[in-house]
Amino acid sequence: MGGPAKDIRVNQQQIDASGMRVGVNRPDLQFTVDGKRYYVEYDTTSSPRAPGHEQRILANDPGATVILRTVD
């Protein structure tokens, strides 16, 4: 990642890099760097939800990067 993060949102409806709402799902963290949208989902090892969240995010914003983090 290059420059500073912009359009930082926490647990809010999904928007793309242009600021357009692309989904009503609520990624844990989302931000834009150098015109590319990133989404971070936090989950535990006992939860099977992360892959589904990643699929939904990418269906809404195919050019994005999804980062899955496990926190226990």
Single out the residue of 45, 47, 14, 42 nearest to residue 28, CA to CA.
Answer: 42
pTM of the model: 0.92
User: pLDDT (tens digit, 9 = 90+) per residue, 12-60?
Assistant: 999 999 999 999 999 999 999 999 999 999 999 898 888 899 999 999 9
| Bridge partners, residue 31, by sequence | 38
| Bridge partners, residue 33, by sequence | 36
User: pLDDT (tens digit, 9 = 90+) per residue, 37-48?
Assistant: 999 999 998 988
Q: d(Cα 11, Cα 29) in Å, to the nearest integer?
A: 6
